[in-house]
Amino acid sequence: MPNLLDSCRIIQLPASIRQLATDANMQFPLSLRQFIADQQCPFSQCVRIHLKTLRAPTVSVPTLLLSMRAVYATADIGVIVGSRETLDGPNFGTLLDLDVGPCTTGTTTPEQNQLFQNRDSAGVNDVVIYFTRSVLQNNVNTVNGCAAFPAGRPGVAVAQIASRWTMAHEVGHVLGLRHFPRGVCLPSDCPPQAPAPTRLMTCCGTRLITGTATVTQGEIGTMRDSDLTFQC
C-alpha cells in the first residue's frame, strides 16, 4: 500500500495531495501511486531507504522521516522511501534486543548479520533501517542506534527509545560522516553546562538538539560523494 510520505517531495506534512501536485506542476487529478512513482524530485541527489520494523519507535516513523528530510534537504539530498515491511515471527524474537557489540564500522555481531540479511526490495546501494526494541552495545549499554553493518548490506539499527534525529544521524554515519567534534566521542566533549548541540553528528546525544539539526559544508560534500547517494 503506497504511503504519501514515501515520496521525496514530502519534507513537511502537506495540506493536500492536490496542493502538492499543483506546487510540482503535475496535472490533477492523479493517484497516490502515480504521485509517489513520479521520478521528478526537487533535489539534485537522493538516498533511498527501506523501513523494516520489528518494534515501532516511540517517536513516530513519520516524525523520524520528516526530521531526516529537513536536515538532508540542506545538503540538497532527497530521501526516498523504497519500501516498508514489518518483520515478525519466531525468527525475529531473539533480534528484538539487538546486540551490536562495540558498534564499530567493519565489525558486526551474529545478530546483526542475521537481521541485516533481510533486505527484500532493497538494492545494493540502498540503506535499510531496522527498528528494534533496543540496541545493546556489547549486550550491556542501551543506545539509540548503531550504524555498523555487514559488508555489502548498508543499513542501521534504530532503538524504540530513539530521538527524532537518530535515524538521520545513523544514516549520516553510513554516508561517511563521523561524530563531532573529533570522530570518537569522549566525556570531555559534553560538559554539564555545554550549550544544546546543533550539529546532526553531535557526540552529546541527538535528543538535546533544538531546532533543525545542521551539517557543515564539509559534511555535505562527504554525503554527496557517497556511493549510496545518486542523481535523482
Helix axes 166-174, 61-73, angle to 10 degrees: 50
Asked whether 82 and 126 are in contact (CB, 8 A), the reply is: yes
* Set of cell numbers at residue 223: 554525503
Question: Are the CB atoms for 108 and 143 separated by under 8 Å?
Answer: no
What type of residue is 17? I
With a pLDDT cut of 90, the percent of the chain lying above it is 70
Beta bridge partners of 145: 158
What structural domains and CATH numbers belong to the chain?
A: 45-176 (3.40.390.10)
Single-letter amino acid code for the residue at 6: D
> Do the Cβ atoms of 148 and 122 come closer than 8 Å?
no
Helical H segments across 9-60, by residue range? 17-23, 32-37
Quote the pLDDT of residue 30.
67
Query: Taking phi first (over 0 means left), then psi (-120 to 50 degrees means alpha), and beta for anything else, what does residue 18 get?
Result: alpha
Paired sense of beta strands 230-231 and 45-53, if any: antiparallel
> Can you give the pLDDT at residue 143?
94
Lowest mean pLDDT of 2-16, 70-84, 132-146, name the range: 2-16
Q: Which of 127, 128, 160, 130 is nearest to 144 (CA)?
A: 160
Residue with cell 521525496: 8
What pLDDT is attached to residue 188?
81
Sign (positive/negative) of CA torsion 7, 117, 64, 69? negative
Residue 42 has pLDDT above 90, yes or no: no
- pTM as predicted: 0.90
Which of residues 186 and 172 earns the better pLDDT score? 172
pLDDT at 176 exceeding the cut of 70 = yes
State residue 187's pLDDT score.
79
